[in-house]
C-alpha cells in the first residue's frame, strides 16, 4: 500500500495582507517548523484586508498555496463581482477588487519588478493608465467545445444521479486541458459575442451535432473564434473537428441566416491533435477573409490568424504613449530612422511612420510580416520595410550597416523578453532613444538591467489593457547616456 497523504491544515482567522505579481492574494503565517520565521501563502480571489479561514492545498519549503474556505470578515475594499462565472472560469481573477485598486496593484507590480529584478535607477512610475471601457473591451474571444461539460460540486450534488451530462462551449478550467466550463455570458466581449456563441451551442444541441472529445480527438464542433472590431465589423470563425460537410453546412447556414451582420464568416476543418489553426486552411463561407480595425485614420486588416492587440481602444492609448516617448508625435523637419523590433503585423510601425524618415520592422512570424506589408499598402505608407526571421539572426551588425543606424528604436517583445544577443546588438548600435513596450514587467526589468550600462530610464508608464485581470503592459523610455558617464 502507498503511503497515506498527510492531511494539510485549515488555518483559521488569517489576515490577507497583499496581492502578488501573478494576481493571487498573500497571507503570512509563522512557520510551524521554524518559530519566528514567516511563511507566505498564496490565495486566489482574496483581497487585502480580508480575514479568512484558509485551507492549505499545497505546501512547499518556503511557501504554501491555499484557498478561502470561509470569509470571516470581508475586506472593506471588496466589491460584488458582476459575472455569474466568477471564481470558476479563471479568466477575470480581480472582479472582486474595485478598479482603482486594480490600477494601483498593477503599478506596484511594475515598481516591484524594477526594484527586485532590475535593480536600476528610474524616475517615479506614473499611475497606471486605466481603460475607459472596463467591460466588453475584448475584440477577440475563443471558445472551446467539449462533449462533457465540467460541473461544480454544487451542480453535481444537486443533479439527478442518472441525468445526462450536457456538452459545453466555453473556457478551459485553469490547469485542466480536457475540462471545459460552459459559458452562458462573458462580460469581456460585446453582447453580440454571447448571442452568436449561444446560438451555435443551442443549434448544435437541438440538432444532435457532436461536440469535440478532447482526449479522443473526435467530434464536429471544436472551437469558435469571434472578433468584433472598433469599426463595428464582426468576424466569426468556426473550427470543426470532423470533415462532415452536412454538419458544417448546417451550422454555417444557420449563422448566415441568424446573423446577417457578420462581415467575415469563416470555417476551418482541423483534424490535428492541437487547436492551433496557424497551419490550417481558412475557408470563407460569406463576406471577406478579414475585418478592419481603425486607428487615427489608419486601417488595419485583421484575418483569422492575425495578431492584433485584444483591447482596441486601449491599444490606441498604448501606442500613443510609445509614440510620445519616441519623440514622434509632431511633424518636424527632422525625421529619424526608426527600428521597430518584434513588429508583429506592423501596427506600431505604421502608426509612427508619418513622423519618421523610414521604419524598419522585424518579426519572427512570416505571415505577420505579410500582414504588416499589406497594412502599409492599404494605408498608402511607402516608408516602411519589413523583414521576417529570428530577431537575433536578422538584427546583425551587417543588417544595421545596410539599413542605417537607427536614431530611435521601439521594442515590443513577447513575454519571454529579448534574447541576450539582441540586447548586445542594441548596445553596439546605441540608438539615441529606446522605447521598450512589455507585457511582462519581470522580463522587462531583467532586460533593463542589461541595457543600463549605456542607457538611463527617463519615463515609466504602466497601461492597463485587461481590466479585472492581473496583466499589465508597461512602457519605458530609455535615453542614451553621455559618453563620459557610461
pLDDT at 2 over 60: no
CATH superfamily membership of 1-77: Nucleic acid-binding proteins (2.40.50.140)
Confidence of residue 83 (pLDDT cuts 50, 70, 90): very high
Equal fold, 102-133+311-485 vs 140-295: no
- The arithmetic mean of pLDDT across residues 85-109, rounded, is 92
Specify the CATH architecture of the domain 102-133+311-485: 3-Layer(aba) Sandwich (3.40)
State mean pLDDT over 74-81.
94
Q: Of the candidates 391, 451, 406, which has an alpha carbon nearest to the alpha carbon of residue 118? A: 451
Average pLDDT (193-209) is 98
**311 and 139 in contact (C-beta within 8 Å)?**
yes
User: How does pLDDT run across 392-425, given as a tens digit for each residue?
Assistant: 899 999 999 999 999 999 999 999 999 999 999 9
In 379-451, alpha helices (H): 391-394, 397-403, 420-429, 441-451
Each residue of 371-389: pLDDT tens digit?
999 999 999 999 999 999 9
Q: Give 154's pLDDT tier (boundaries 50, 70, 90).
A: low
Q: Tell me how far apart the alpha carbons of residues 396 and 314 are, in angstroms, rounded to a whole number.
A: 33
pTM score, two decimals? 0.91
pLDDT above 70 as % of the chain: 95
Instruction: List the chain domain ranges.
Output: 1-77, 102-133+311-485, 140-295
What mean pLDDT value characterizes the chain? 92
Q: Tell me: the pLDDT tens digits for 355-376? A: 999 999 999 988 889 999 999 9
Over range 91-117, report the average pLDDT: 95
Give me the percent of the chain exceeding a pLDDT of 90: 79
Q: Kindly give the residue spans of alpha helices, DSSP state H, lying in 279-396.
A: 312-325, 347-352, 366-378, 391-394
Q: Cα(131)–Cα(140) distance, rounded to whole angstroms?
A: 17
CATH 2.40.50.1070 fits 140-295, yes or no: yes
Half-sphere exposure of 411 (CA within 13 A, CB side): 27
Is 92 in the active site?
Answer: no
Position 4 pLDDT exceeds 90: no
Rounded-to-integer distance, Cα 478 and Cα 436, Å: 8
> For the segment 286-340, what is each residue's pLDDT rounded down to a tens digit?
999 999 999 999 999 999 998 889 999 999 999 999 999 999 987 777 899 999 9
- Residue pLDDT, tens place only, 232-252: 999 999 999 999 999 999 999
Between residues 57 and 450, the one the model is more confident about: 450
| CB count in 10 Å sphere of residue 251 | 23
At 21, the pLDDT band (50, 70, 90 cuts) reads: confident
Q: How many CB atoms lie within 10 A of CB 192?
A: 17
* Predicted pLDDT at 1: 46
Say how many CA atoms lie within 13 Å of 375 toward its Cβ: 36
Amino acid at each position: 500500500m502507498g503511503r497515506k497523504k498527510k492531511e494539510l491544515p485549515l488555518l483559521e482567522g488569517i489576515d490577507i495582507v497583499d496581492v502578488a505579481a501573478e494576481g493571487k492574494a498573500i497571507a503570512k503565517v509563522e512557520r510551524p517548523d521554524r518559530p519566528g520565521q514567516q511563511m507566505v501563502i498564496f490565495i486566489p480571489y482574496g483581497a487585502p484586508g480580508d480575514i479568512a479561514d484558509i485551507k492549505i492545498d499545497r505546501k512547499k519549503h518556503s511557501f504554501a498555496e491555499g484557498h478561502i474556505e470561509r470569509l470571516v470578515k470581508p475586506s472593506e475594499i471588496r466589491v460584488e463581482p458582476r459575472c455569474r462565472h466568477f471564481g470558476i472560469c479563471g479568466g477575470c481573477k480581480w472582479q472582486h477588487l474595485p478598479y482603482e485598486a486594480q490600477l494601483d496593484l498593477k503599478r506596484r507590480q511594475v515598481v516591484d519588478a524594477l526594484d527586485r529584478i532590475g535593480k536600476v535607477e528610474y524616475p517615479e512610475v506614473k499611475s497606471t493608465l486605466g481603460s475607459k471601457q472596463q467591460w466588453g473591451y475584448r475584440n477577440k474571444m475563443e471558445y472551446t467545445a467539449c462533449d462533457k461539460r465540467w460541473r461544480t460540486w454544487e451542480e453535481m450534488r444537486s443533479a439527478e444521479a442518472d441525468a445526462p451530462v450536457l456538452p459545453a462551449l466555453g473556457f478551459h478550467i485553469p490547469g485542466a486541458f480536457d475540462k471545459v466550463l460552459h459559458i452562458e455570458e462573458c462580460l469581456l466581449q460585446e453582447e453580440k459575442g454571447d448571442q452568436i456563441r449561444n446560438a451555435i451551442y443551442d443549434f448544435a444541441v437541438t440538432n444532435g451535432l457532436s461536440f469535440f472529445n478532447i482526449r479522443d480527438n473526435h467530434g464536429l464542433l471544436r472551437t469558435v473564434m469571434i472578433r468584433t472590431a472598433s469599426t463595428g465589423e464582426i468576424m466569426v470563425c468556426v473550427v470543426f473537428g470532423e470533415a462532415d460537410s452536412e454538419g458544417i453546412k448546417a451550422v454555417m447556414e444557420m449563422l448566415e441566416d441568424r446573423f446577417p451582420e457578420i462581415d467575415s464568416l469563416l470555417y476551418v476543418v482541423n483534424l490535428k491533435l492541437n487547436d492551433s489553426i496557424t497551419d490550417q486552411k481558412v475557408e470563407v463561407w460569406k463576406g471577406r477573409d478579414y475585418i478592419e480595425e481603425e486607428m487615427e485614420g489608419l486601417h488595419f486588416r485583421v484575418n483569422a490568424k492575425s495578431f492584433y492587440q485584444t483591447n482596441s481602444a486601449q491599444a490606441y492609448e498604448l501606442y500613443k504613449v510609445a509614440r510620445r516617448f519616441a519623440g514622434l508625435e509632431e511633424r518636424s523637419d527632422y525625421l529619424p530612422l526608426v527600428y521597430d523590433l518584434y513588429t508583429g503585423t506592423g501596427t506600431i510601425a505604421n502608426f509612427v511612420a508619418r513622423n519618421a524618415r523610414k521604419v524598419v520592422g522585424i518579426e519572427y512570424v512570416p505571415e505577420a510580416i505579410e500582414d504588416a506589408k499589406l497594412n502599409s499598402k492599404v494605408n498608402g505608407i511607402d516608408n516602411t520595410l519589413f523583414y521576417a526571421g529570428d530577431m537575433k539572426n536578422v538584427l546583425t551588425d551587417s543588417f544595421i550597416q545596410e539599413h542605417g543606424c537607427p536614431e530611435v528604436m521601439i521594442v515590443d517583445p513577447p513575454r519571454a523578453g529579448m534574447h541576450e544577443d539582441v540586447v548586445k546588438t542594441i548596445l553596439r548600435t546605441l540608438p539615441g532613444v529606446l522605447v521598450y513596450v512589455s507585457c511582462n514587467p519581470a522580463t522587462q526589468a531583467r532586460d533593463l538591467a542589461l541595457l543600463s550600462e549605456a542607457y538611463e530610464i527617463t519615463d515609466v508608464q504602466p497601461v492597463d489593457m485587461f481590466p479585472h485581470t492581473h496583466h499589465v503592459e508597461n512602457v519605458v523610455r530609455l535615453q542614451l547616456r553621455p559618453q563620459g558617464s557610461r
